[in-house]
């Protein structure tokens, strides 16, 4: 759950949170100076959405490139049930089964 939160939800919500905080600061300043308070418009929400999607894509690409196994790490062998216990999955040396 923490991985989903860090990789998907936070990058999408962060621009919106920053936009609403900025609007709150501008409204607070307008109230203090007696000028007209700015309104939240769809243009700012649109660019918040675009920047959130860009952050999301960047985070997922970075995750894909910076983690995982090497291409030649071997062949995945799923977990098995042997002798009454579960043997965890492993990566073994990749061998080619050739019939002569």
**Residue 73 lies inside a defined structural domain of this protein:** no
**pTM for the full predicted model:** 0.52
- DSSP 8-state class, residue 7: I
Q: Which domain holds residue 39?
A: 2-68
Instruction: Find out whether 56 and 15 touch, Cβ atoms under 8 Å.
Output: no
**Residue 58 lies inside a defined structural domain of this protein:** yes
**Residue 49 lies inside a defined structural domain of this protein:** yes
Instruction: Find out whether 12 and 56 touch, Cβ atoms under 8 Å.
Output: yes
**Residue 22 lies inside a defined structural domain of this protein:** yes
Question: Per-residue pLDDT for 15 more than 80?
Answer: yes
Our CA dihedral for 49, 54, 55, 61, rounded to 10 degrees, sits at 150
**Residue 85 lies inside a defined structural domain of this protein:** no
Question: Per-residue pLDDT for 100 more than 50?
Answer: no
Token pair belonging to 54: 């860009």
**Residue 57 lies inside a defined structural domain of this protein:** yes
pLDDT tens digits for range 39-80:
878 888 888 888 888 888 888 888 878 876 666 666 788 899
Task: Tell me what pLDDT residue 71 has.
Answer: 61
Q: How many domains does the chain have?
A: 1
- 3-class DSSP assignment, residue 74: coil
Please list the alpha-helical segments (H only) found in the chain: 2-4, 10-33, 42-66
Q: What is the rounded average pLDDT for all residues in the chain?
A: 80
**Residue 60 lies inside a defined structural domain of this protein:** yes
């Amino acid at each position: 759950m923490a991985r989903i939160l860090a990789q998907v939800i936070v990058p999408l919500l962060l621009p919106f949170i920053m936009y609403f905080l900025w609007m709150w600061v501008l409204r607070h300043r307008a109230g203090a100076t007696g000028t007209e308070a700015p309104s939240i418009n769809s243009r700012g929400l649109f660019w918040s959405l675009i920047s959130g999607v860009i952050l999301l894509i960047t985070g997922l690409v970075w995750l894909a490139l910076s983690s995982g196994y090497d291409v030649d790490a071997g062949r995945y062998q799923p977990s098995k049930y042997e002798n009454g216990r579960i043997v965890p999955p492993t990566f073994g040396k990749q061998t080619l089964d050739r019939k002569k």
